[in-house]
Chains A and B, each alone.
Chain A
Amino acid sequence: MQSGEVTRAAFAVRGGEPPAASVAGLPWLLSTAVAEPGQRRAANVVVIASALVFIAALPFAKQPLMPVWAFIPAYQSALALNDLITAALLFGQFAILRSRGLLLLAGAYVFAGLMAVAHALTFPGLFAPGGLLGAGPQSTAWLYMFWHAGFPLLVLAYALDRDGQGNARPVTGRTRVAIAWSIGGAALAATLLTLLATSGQAALPAIMQGNRYTDVMLAVVSTVWLLSMLALGVLWRRRPHTVLDLWLAVVMCAWVFDIGLSAVFNAGRFDLGFYAGRIYGLAAASFVLVVLLLDHSVLYARLARVHGREASRLEQAQRTLAQHRERLRILHEIDRAIVAQHTPEAIAAAVIGPLRELLGVPRAIVNRFDLEAGEVEWIAAAGRRRMHVGPGVRYSIRLMGEVEALRRGEPQRIDVHALPHGPEREALLASDVHVYMVMPMVAGGELIGALSFGASEGDFPPEQMNIAQEVATQLAIALSQARLHERVKRHAEELERRVAERTADLEAAKTALEDLYNNAPCGYHSVDADGIIVRMNDTWLAWLGYSREEVVGKKRHADLMTPESAERFHNEAFPLFKRQGWLKEVEFEYVRRDGSTFPGSLQTSTIYDRDGRYLMSRTTVFDISARKRAEAAVRELNKELESFSYSVSHDLRAPLRAVDGYARMLEEDYRGRLDDEGRRLLATVRGNAAQMARLIDDLLAFSRLGRKPITAAPVDMSALAREVAAELAGEHPRAQMVVGELPPAHGDRALLKQVWANLIGNALKYSAKGESPRVEIGGRAAAGRNEYWVRDNGVGFDMRYAAKLFGVFQRLHRAEEFVGTGVGLAIVQRVIARHGGEVRAEAKSGEGACFSFTLPKEEGA
């Protein structure tokens, strides 16, 4: 990934933050690439050639030549230019690598370039007789020494500036600042040294005598020469050798030859050594430059190659991208169809055309499987020219290959030639399809259908298979979703239909209910918490003569009553209703719209909401005019009946008394003249009169029962029964009477006493003729009622006539056997019935009887 490294390095230049690890990781840069054998060989050849030329030139070093003054500025200019260009290129490498060594080296070249210029300017006799810059006779020579000592020293610093691993030390801080420091340092050193060599030459020992060297010169030049050799040695020891190191070594070699020829082995200026040394100096300045330039062209060529490669790769990527985009578009199409809840046909139709093009096949079909029928149906098919959408074409599932394999999700490759002969096979071959692929569509483990596409020959590339599989998977989901959606829709329709049915039923029920409500034979209404009537049925409105609008939401219940009734409603009924939540049979006088009045009986209870709070009342009102009239009639009748029975009571008894009285008087007054027969006849008259009197008494008592209102109160039944038993005991001394513990009753004491008297009296009467008459009185509490009984061991009666027992004047015994009128049990029956209880009799002829009655436990409860 070289291109990546380049990008990062370039970034580092701009950002000024070099990643240290990458410095050693740029093997293709001159300053970091390890020298290859070929380069070493080239360097060796150059060094050896230079050495040979040096050795060849050595003997003639002192041979004087023509002083060519122009040589000095020409070669010095080239030298300075070469050095500065080399410095610039090295600064360029430094900008990438940020190695301190490179900075020192670049500085060395700047220094060398500047010193070359200073040297040329101070050369005596060149631009001025003594040289420019105030130079003296020694200046140029010293400058040469400083120049040729300074450069190796800096190379030495470059070579030594390594860490333990031999890696260059990085420079922190901004690149430009570092470069400026380097150039500034070099310029300052050059300036100071030039000043020392010119203005300060007096302080320096003389090394030149005219154009000849002095003795001091020997020591100075030896030192300078040694520095170059030292730099060469250190460079050589430095491993591994980079290409830059290699060529710097060559430069130092040339430097050694330069100094050797131009300052050690020659005699003075303008001899052969002087010229040859200068040539070496120029060569030394050029080696690194040339190598750097070559390196740059190599790098450029490499960049061009890389760029070319990247461009073709980009083109390939764009093609793939386009294909992916198309794939995504188709998948998106399917997704959209799912979201839009299209039918399976619509989804398939939207997809099939683009899919065929994407696959690059002549024909593609979306098939739906009907596994039960063993058939396949086209949903959509696309060819090069035509497209078929919608179901209709069906053929055998055998054309889809192995169904079990499809179910497992394995695509089937079908060779048309291997198919059995038939119209399908012929049709396929006719449309140039010789082989086709069946890609199963499986969703939720269910094989829904398959995507099939044909080709004229050959294999199906993996890319094509991938696309087909992807689309098949998506289509399977889409179709299964669509099918599900259709099912849900059908279900929803069914639900809607059922809801409609129920609603109609409810409507009908509601109508029926409303009809019942409105046409009930009583008034219905409800009042809200504020007492306002919130609804009222038609019957009630018709009775009152109001329209619904006049009442509902406007009137209160009491507004419909006479002032007296309204007052009673406010003072008594309504407070009671608020207290207990209901009212029963409270009568009020209502006022019709036309001002006439009628009596009504009110019943009301409360409708509570779910939280148990009062919602509204549920009130019924009955028109009781008819009842009131009937009651009045009954009262009238009762009055008549009363006067009738009063007359009966008085007028029927008086003659009877006379009959008895006069018979008695006859008996008394004519005692002596009446024989036995006469007395018997009189006794019969009196007996019948007495029977008649009893009948009248009982009948009156019975009729009184119906009219007399019951005054109910708690009654101690044990005490009452004992009292009656004690009263009757006198008449039946032989009878044994047992009174048990009886539950208390709630009723009319006088009437209940009559009941006990009749029952106990009967029991005594019918058992009196037995050997040991016994009457047992008992009772017990049962659920909601109390039961009482009187049992005797008398003659009993035949149960076949039990039903007759409680009728008025009904008797089961003849009068000669037991006296009685046949009213006693009728009275019992009537009293108990009026108390809300029941009477029962059980007996067996000759084995005694048991009469029992029940009473409700608490009146009104």
Chain B
Amino acid sequence: MTDYQQVEILLAEDSPADAEMTLRALRKNNLANRVHWVKDGAEALEYVFRAGTYAERANQQPKLILLDIKMPKVDGIEVLRRLKGDPETRSIPVVVMTSSNEDRDVVESYRLGVNSYIVKPVAFDAFLETVAKIGMYWVLTNRVPQ
């Protein structure tokens, strides 16, 4: 695990393959060192709200949460609802990255206050480029209230 203090991107993704490809894309842009990967929604929530295994984590929120929707235990939509429903976590930029192209997910995510919604391209090159752009923008360019 990387140092908590350095985490700038929280990646919630149940698929190891997708996670590896995401990390590879971020690594190519030198963003991978500050990524923390959780494998389902429950863990993601524990991380953000410093519960369970993350109870002792330092009180510093990531600059970006990359959130898959279809995950075991607690799905991405539920995580999004909890994050945007809490004033403490509302300002954390959340980008949904999902294989789903369903309108209802897009609509629901925006209703809940998602900051961006990305359909993962199947083609790897396109996938790499998309992830790189997201990382660069939200981590390096975007500014959030401290």
Question: Which A residues contact B (CB, under 8 angstroms)?
Answer: 645-646, 649-651, 653-658, 660-665, 686, 689-690, 693, 697, 700, 704
Nearest B-chain residue to A701, judged by Cβ? B101
B118 CB, min distance to chain A CBs, angstroms:
13
Docked-complex contact A649 and B21, CB < 8 angstroms: no
Bound complex: CA A430 to CA B12 (Å): 147
Bound complex: CA A693 to CA B101 (Å): 12
Docked-complex contact A693 and B15, CB < 8 angstroms: no
Q: CB-CB < 8 A to A651: which residues of B?
A: 70, 99
Nearest B-chain residue to A657, judged by Cβ? B122
Known interface pairs A689-B122, A690-B123; A661-B17 also in contact (CB < 8 Å): yes
Nearest B-chain residue to A646, judged by Cβ? B102
Docked-complex contact B17 and A664, CB < 8 angstroms: no
Select one of A646, A690, A700 contacting B122, CB under 8 A: A690
**Interface flag for B30 (CB, 8 Å):** no
Known interface pairs A689-B122, A690-B123; A650-B17 also in contact (CB < 8 Å): no
Q: CB-CB < 8 A to B121: which residues of A?
A: 657
B109 CB, min distance to chain A CBs, angstroms:
14
**Interface flag for B18 (CB, 8 Å):** yes
**Interface flag for B61 (CB, 8 Å):** no
Docked-complex contact A693 and B120, CB < 8 angstroms: no
A818 CB, min distance to chain B CBs, angstroms:
20
**Interface flag for B125 (CB, 8 Å):** yes
Docked-complex contact B18 and A657, CB < 8 angstroms: yes
Docked-complex contact A660 and B122, CB < 8 angstroms: yes
Select one of A646, A658, A660 contacting B123, CB under 8 A: A660
Q: CB-CB < 8 A to A663: which residues of B?
A: 124
Known interface pairs A689-B122, A690-B123; A657-B100 also in contact (CB < 8 Å): no
Q: CB-CB < 8 A to A700: which residues of B?
A: 101
Q: CB-CB < 8 A to A646: which residues of B?
A: 100, 102
Docked-complex contact B122 and A656, CB < 8 angstroms: yes
Bound complex: CA A655 to CA B21 (Å): 12
Select one of B21, B69, B101, B103 contacting A657, CB under 8 A: B21
Docked-complex contact B18 and A658, CB < 8 angstroms: yes
Docked-complex contact B123 and A693, CB < 8 angstroms: yes
Question: Which B residues contact A (CB, under 8 angstroms)?
Answer: 15, 17-18, 21, 24, 69-70, 98-103, 120-125, 127
28 residue pairs from A and B, CB less than 8 Å apart: A645-B102, A649-B99, A649-B100, A649-B102, A650-B69, A650-B100, A651-B99, A653-B99, A653-B120, A653-B122, A654-B99, A655-B17, A656-B122, A657-B17, A657-B18, A657-B122, A657-B127, A658-B15, A658-B17, A658-B21, A660-B123, A661-B17, A661-B21, A662-B17, A663-B124, A664-B125, A686-B123, A689-B122
A532 CB, min distance to chain B CBs, angstroms:
50
Nearest B-chain residue to A658, judged by Cβ? B17
Docked-complex contact A657 and B102, CB < 8 angstroms: no
Q: CB-CB < 8 A to A662: which residues of B?
A: 17
Nearest A-chain residue to B120, judged by Cβ? A657
Select one of B15, B24, B103 contacting A654, CB under 8 A: B15
A771 CB, min distance to chain B CBs, angstroms:
32
Q: A649-B99, A660-B124 are in contact. List 12 more A-B contacts (CB 8 A).
A: A650-B69, A654-B18, A656-B122, A657-B18, A658-B21, A660-B122, A660-B123, A663-B124, A664-B125, A665-B21, A693-B123, A700-B101
Q: CB-CB < 8 A to A650: which residues of B?
A: 69-70, 98-100
Docked-complex contact B102 and A693, CB < 8 angstroms: no
Docked-complex contact B127 and A661, CB < 8 angstroms: yes
Q: CB-CB < 8 A to B69: which residues of A?
A: 650
B40 CB, min distance to chain A CBs, angstroms:
15
Nearest B-chain residue to A654, judged by Cβ? B99
Bound complex: CA A354 to CA B67 (Å): 132
Select one of B24, B99, B102, B103 contacting A665, CB under 8 A: B24
Bound complex: CA A341 to CA B98 (Å): 108
A661 CB, min distance to chain B CBs, angstroms:
4
Bound complex: CA A661 to CA B69 (Å): 20
Docked-complex contact A657 and B99, CB < 8 angstroms: yes
Q: CB-CB < 8 A to B124: which residues of A?
A: 657, 660-661, 663-665, 686
Q: CB-CB < 8 A to B122: which residues of A?
A: 653, 656-657, 660, 689-690, 693
Q: CB-CB < 8 A to B21: which residues of A?
A: 657-658, 661, 665
Nearest B-chain residue to A664, judged by Cβ? B124
Bound complex: CA A724 to CA B123 (Å): 25
Q: CB-CB < 8 A to B103: which residues of A?
A: 704
Taking each of B100, B124, B127, which has the highest tally of chain A beta carbons within 10 Å of its own beta carbon?
A: B124
Docked-complex contact A654 and B17, CB < 8 angstroms: yes
Q: CB-CB < 8 A to A704: which residues of B?
A: 103
Bound complex: CA A295 to CA B127 (Å): 172
Bound complex: CA A645 to CA B69 (Å): 15
Bound complex: CA A660 to CA B120 (Å): 12
Nearest A-chain residue to B16, judged by Cβ? A658
B11 CB, min distance to chain A CBs, angstroms:
15
Bound complex: CA A689 to CA B123 (Å): 8
Q: CB-CB < 8 A to B24: which residues of A?
A: 665
Nearest B-chain residue to A665, judged by Cβ? B24
Taking each of A658, A693, A697, which has the highest tally of chain B beta carbons within 10 Å of its own beta carbon?
A: A658
A650 CB, min distance to chain B CBs, angstroms:
5
Bound complex: CA A700 to CA B102 (Å): 9
Q: CB-CB < 8 A to B120: which residues of A?
A: 653, 657
A579 CB, min distance to chain B CBs, angstroms:
38
Can you list the 10 inter-chain pairs with the closest CB atoms, starting with the nearest?
A658-B17, A693-B122, A664-B124, A653-B99, A661-B124, A661-B21, A650-B99, A660-B124, A650-B100, A650-B70
Docked-complex contact B101 and A697, CB < 8 angstroms: yes
Q: CB-CB < 8 A to B99: which residues of A?
A: 649-651, 653-654, 657
B52 CB, min distance to chain A CBs, angstroms:
27
Nearest B-chain residue to A652, judged by Cβ? B99
Bound complex: CA A665 to CA B20 (Å): 10
Bound complex: CA A704 to CA B21 (Å): 30
Taking each of B101, B122, B124, which has the highest tally of chain A beta carbons within 10 Å of its own beta carbon?
A: B122
Bound complex: CA A644 to CA B104 (Å): 14
Q: CB-CB < 8 A to A657: which residues of B?
A: 17-18, 21, 99, 120-122, 124, 127
Q: CB-CB < 8 A to B15: which residues of A?
A: 654, 658
A179 CB, min distance to chain B CBs, angstroms:
146
Bound complex: CA A697 to CA B69 (Å): 18
Taking each of A656, A657, A658, A664, which has the highest tally of chain B beta carbons within 10 Å of its own beta carbon?
A: A657
Q: CB-CB < 8 A to A655: which residues of B?
A: 17
Bound complex: CA A693 to CA B123 (Å): 9
Bound complex: CA A653 to CA B70 (Å): 12
Nearest A-chain residue to B101, judged by Cβ? A649
Bound complex: CA A704 to CA B123 (Å): 23
Q: CB-CB < 8 A to A660: which residues of B?
A: 122-124
Q: CB-CB < 8 A to B18: which residues of A?
A: 654, 657-658
Nearest A-chain residue to B105, judged by Cβ? A646
Bound complex: CA A700 to CA B105 (Å): 15
Q: CB-CB < 8 A to A654: which residues of B?
A: 15, 17-18, 99
Q: CB-CB < 8 A to A661: which residues of B?
A: 17, 21, 124, 127
Taking each of A655, A660, A693, which has the highest tally of chain B beta carbons within 10 Å of its own beta carbon?
A: A660
Q: CB-CB < 8 A to A653: which residues of B?
A: 99, 120, 122
Bound complex: CA A657 to CA B17 (Å): 9
A801 CB, min distance to chain B CBs, angstroms:
31
Q: CB-CB < 8 A to B101: which residues of A?
A: 649, 697, 700
Bound complex: CA A664 to CA B123 (Å): 9
Nearest B-chain residue to A663, judged by Cβ? B124
Q: CB-CB < 8 A to B127: which residues of A?
A: 657, 661
Bound complex: CA A653 to CA B127 (Å): 13
Nearest B-chain residue to A656, judged by Cβ? B122
A436 CB, min distance to chain B CBs, angstroms:
120
Q: CB-CB < 8 A to B125: which residues of A?
A: 664
B77 CB, min distance to chain A CBs, angstroms:
12
Bound complex: CA A474 to CA B101 (Å): 110
Taking each of B98, B99, B102, which has the highest tally of chain A beta carbons within 10 Å of its own beta carbon?
A: B99
B59 CB, min distance to chain A CBs, angstroms:
34
Bound complex: CA A704 to CA B104 (Å): 12
Q: CB-CB < 8 A to A693: which residues of B?
A: 122-123
A850 CB, min distance to chain B CBs, angstroms:
32
